[in-house]
Chains A and B, each alone.
Chain A
Amino acid sequence: QSALTQPPSVSGSPGQSVTISCTGASSDVGSYNHVSWYQQSPGTAPKLIIYEVSSRPSGVPDRFSGSKSGNTASLTISGLQAEDEAHYYCTSFTTSTTYVFGTGTKVTVL
């Protein structure tokens, strides 16, 4: 199984919106709404911020939103804040009943 493809980096100024894409295949992203997103700051464990494509766990700001079209899922951070600077990873369930992670994206707040 191949890793899902994410852009290596995206950047934006405070208050702006940024979108991170997560491209897979018909055997993973395209088959299920089982796509989730994680935020990882340096030296810490990843944190779940989106599950089932667009649902937010309790406590995650509504600035974070998710969507999916075909084989590509997306994470949008609206009203970018300095504390959003981190690495972001997507993951998807697959038709082989396994999971696959994305390659990861570094978000920089300018």
Chain B
Amino acid sequence: QVQLQETGPGLVKPSETLSLTCTVSGTSVSNYHWAWIRQPPGKGLDWIGLVYGRGKTSYKPSLKGRVTISVDTSKNQFSLNLRSVTAADTAVYYCARDWSWGFGPWGQGTLVAVSS
């Protein structure tokens, strides 16, 4: 059974970098593509980007330049770095497996607030 778990700080200061890690169990990160998705409080889902098992990436156009997603096969993890954050980046951040052009399963999500 594939499971994902997000970890990282729950509070980030404006202009700093938001960094999250997703630890995968039940399969190798090399076998699939992996995504980061966020949900601002009370709002809908927002796709951030994707890392393919061999490291190639794809990002939401409006976030390109601020976002980096990478994979660490030795730790069976993948990570999100979002630079120069503002209050608009406050959200629950989810990691998920890209499977057959759909996302499943998902991690439980982690709330990241951007505030001084």
Contact = CB atoms under 8 A, between A and B. Distances in A.
Task: Decide whether A and B assemble into one complex.
Answer: yes
Interface of A: 1, 3, 32, 34, 36, 38, 40, 45-48, 50-52, 55, 57, 89, 91, 93, 96-104
Contacts of A97: 58
Interface stretch (B10-18, B73-81, B82-90, B99-107): B99-107
Interface string B51-87: 0000000111100000000000000000000000000
B46 A101 contact: yes
A91 B45 CA distance: 9
Contacts, number: 67
Residue from A51, A52, A91, A99 whose CB has the most chain B CB atoms within 10 Å: A99
B47 interface: yes
Contact of A51 (B46, B101, B109): B101
B21 to A, nearest CB: 17
A52 B59 contact: no
A91 to B, nearest CB: 7
B34 interface: no
Given A38-B103, A97-B58, 7 more contacts: A48-B103, A52-B101, A55-B100, A91-B47, A93-B101, A98-B58, A98-B59
B108 interface: yes
A99 B96 CA distance: 13
